[in-house]
């Protein structure tokens, strides 16, 4: 399980807490990497999640998601609710990739802290090879 992932370097809010977790519950069937970028004061957080089901490629459920075009011509799928915004795309090496934005552990409504869709697209453009 040796992968090199490009992480974003420019965020739509100040990031002052960064951590990474690797899910190894069942490494023979699922590989998942989660990069957390957080502002401790505002409690805003973006998670960059890469997951891969071994021997069975994951597919993005397109239901309820808005199709958006990326700078490289690829497609991504955007969705939101009152407490989170998500954007999904097919990542490198068979990984399904997504950015998830929320506040205070996804327990608060976004309200005026909602990100522009272009902010999430910019994050994808930073990590694509």
Q: How many CA atoms lie within 13 A of 13 on its CB side?
A: 20
Q: Between 73 and 78, whose confidence is greater? A: 78
Q: What pLDDT, on a 0 to 100 scale, did the predictor assign at position 71?
A: 85
Task: Examine the pLDDT at 93 and tell me if it is beyond 90.
Answer: no
Return d(Cα 12, Cα 99) in angstroms, integer. Answer: 13
> Do residues 6 and 123 make contact, with C-beta atoms less than 8 angstroms apart?
no
Q: How far apart are the first and last CA of the chain?
A: 19
State yes or no: pLDDT of 23 exceeds 80.
yes
> Residue 89: CA atoms inside 13 Å, Cβ hemisphere, count?
22
Residue 58 burial class via C-beta count within 10 angstroms: exposed 0-12, middle 13-18, buried 19 and up: middle
Confidence of residue 118 (pLDDT cuts 50, 70, 90): very high
CB 52 within 8 A of CB 1: no
Under the banding of pLDDT at 50, 70 and 90, the label for residue 91 is: confident
């Amino acid at each position: 399980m040796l992968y090199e992932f490009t992480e974003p370097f420019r965020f739509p809010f100040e990031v002052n807490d960064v951590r990474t977790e690797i899910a190894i519950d069942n490494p023979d069937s699922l590989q998942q990497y989660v990069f957390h970028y957080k502002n401790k004061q505002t409690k805003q957080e973006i998670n960059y999640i890469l997951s891969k089901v071994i021997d069975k490629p994951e597919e993005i459920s397109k239901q309820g998601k808005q199709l958006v075009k990326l700078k490289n011509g690829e497609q991504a799928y955007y969705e939101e609710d009152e407490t989170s915004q998500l954007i999904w795309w097919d990542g490198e090496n068979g990984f399904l990739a997504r950015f998830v934005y929320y506040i205070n552990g996804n327990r608060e409504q976004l309200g005026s802290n909602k990100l522009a869709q272009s902010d999430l697209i910019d994050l994808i453009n930073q990590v694509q090879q």
